[in-house]
Structure 1
Amino acid sequence: MKIEKAIFACGCFWGVQHQMERAKRVIRSTVGYTGGKEQHPTYQEVKAHTTGHAEAVLVEYDAEQTTYKELCKLFFEIHDPAQTDGQGPDIGPQYRSEIFYLNEAQKAEAEAIIQLLREKGYEVNTRLTPASEFWPAEDYHQHYYDKTGGEPYCHIRVKKF
């Protein structure tokens, strides 16, 4: 098994984690905060827009069984990349669409998918940013829908690829 990581932000991290965890060969995921300036941010600080962080999901996957490209495709299928600073009912910069790439290969894969979507006529406002420190969210946020039995508002949309 070859474990690799990816970091995605596209709305409330509860739903993103829920969808990513159901992808083939995803081993585990953690919801948290990244992309901002504060160390050890709390949910309340991120929600108050004082940190610059996005709600994000750190995904660990078996790279021998799936690819970063497949996870990027899923990322674009579970949210609206045209929406800026929010997703559905969640509005604010912490809910932005952003891929935090961990290396140049991830950056190139994400750029290629964004280009493909644009060529097909889709508006894509997703940011591509080098990954910075990822801060795990509070325990009550981890695997929220599994704990509550709820359903996320983000669902697999029509395939764009």
Structure 2
Amino acid sequence: MLASSLPRRPLIGLGAALALGVALAWSPLGHAASRAVALPPPATTGPAPPDDAPHSAVLAGGCFWGIEAVFQHLDGVTDAVSGYSGGAARTADYRSVSAGRTRHAEAVRITYDPGKISYARLLQVFFSVAHDPTQLNRQGPDIGPQYRSAIFHADETQRRVAQAYIDQLDAAGAFDRPIVTRLDPLEAFYPAEAYHQDYAYHHPNQPYIVFNDLPKVANLERLFPELYRDDPVLSAMP
């Protein structure tokens, strides 16, 4: 299936796109795309990694195109792959996941250099600009459990750091509503179809990307200038 024929993110004409952009800017649906919250750094960062070997984090928060785009522009990230996590291998495909009954979430596997950026710092970016962690089973215009906010932790250290940061943000009243981000053990990650990889990079003028994802990248540059990289690191997927 071609990316231009995806059922829930259609291409539309420029005039309609501009009208849609104005409408979204004044609606709750546009809030997730443009919002960004300056958050304190995590107080709990976990132990320093024993070596500088690449580490990975699997995060979910709405359409994986936007999450991938944000982390591709983050210094210290060496790879970002869109995919599915939370369900079985036999249902790890876009058509099945889009039905919302597979237990999968659209997720991104982020490979990073712990000598340059920590797991806790990734979470700060995740909660601050990559998505709205107070939206339950949706993210902006995308609705369903496959768009849930979730952290798939690979080990107890990742779980503890994530839980501590959520508790820290809740205690500080960082958001107007409760954080609904789930913490789930990482059982498996399945890369998405090739046409989903580097999607925002290859389709910067698609209206969905313009109104939902490019503002997130702009917010990353604005709130984390010391971490922002202008040239995105592209997926190592073929």
Q: Is TM (by shorter chain) over 0.5?
A: yes
Match of 1:80 among 132, 140, 145: 132
Q: Aligned equivalents of 2:119 and 2:89: distance in 1?
A: 28
Shift of 1:50: 2.8
Answer yes or no: is the 8 Å Cα contact 2:91–2:97 preserved in 1.
no
Report the 3-state secondary structure (helix = DSSP H, G, I; strand = E; otherwise coil) of the residue aligned with 1:114: helix
Tell me which residue corresponds to 2:188.
Answer: 133
Residue 110 in structure 1 maps to residue 162 in structure 2: yes
- Which one of 76, 80, 89 corresponds to residue 25 of structure 1? 76
Distance of 2:204 and 2:196 partners within structure 1: 13
Task: State the AA in 2 paired with 1:119.
Answer: A
Within the candidate set 88, 94, 110, 2:146 is matched to: 94
The one-letter code sitting in structure 2 at the alignment partner of 1:5 is S
1: CA distance, partners of 2:198 / 2:88: 25
Which of 96, 103, 120 does residue 52 from structure 1 map onto?
103
TM-score (norm 2): 0.64
CA contact (8 A) 2:84 2:107 kept: yes
Does 1:144 find its partner at 2:199?
yes
**In structure 2, how many angstroms separate the alpha carbons of the residues matched to 1:132 and 1:69?**
21
Residue aligned with 2:122, SS: helix
Which of these two proteins has the greater Rg computed from alpha carbons?
A: 2
2:146 aligned partner, one-letter code: Q
Distance across 1 between alignment mates of 2:58 and 2:163: 15
Q: Structure 2 CA distance, aligned partners of 1:126 and 1:20?
A: 18
Q: How far has the Cα of 1:79 moved from its partner?
A: 1.2
The Cα offsets for residues 18-50 of structure 1, whole Å up to 9 and x where unpaired, read as 001111110001100001134352100000123
Farther off after superposition, 8-17 or 141-150: 141-150
C-alpha RMSD of matched pairs (Å): 1.6
The structure with more helix, counted as a fraction of residues: 2
Q: Which ranges of structure 1 fall in alignment gaps of 5 or more residues? A: none
What whole-Å deviation, never above 9, does each CA across 1:104-138 have from its counterpart, x for those lacking one?
11111101110011011231000000001111000
Contact 2:76 2:117 (8 Å CA) reproduced: yes
Q: Give the structure-1-normalised TM-score.
A: 0.93
Q: Which runs of 5+ in 2 are unaligned?
A: 1-51, 224-238
Deviations 1:128-153 (A, max 9, x none): 00001111000000010111124461
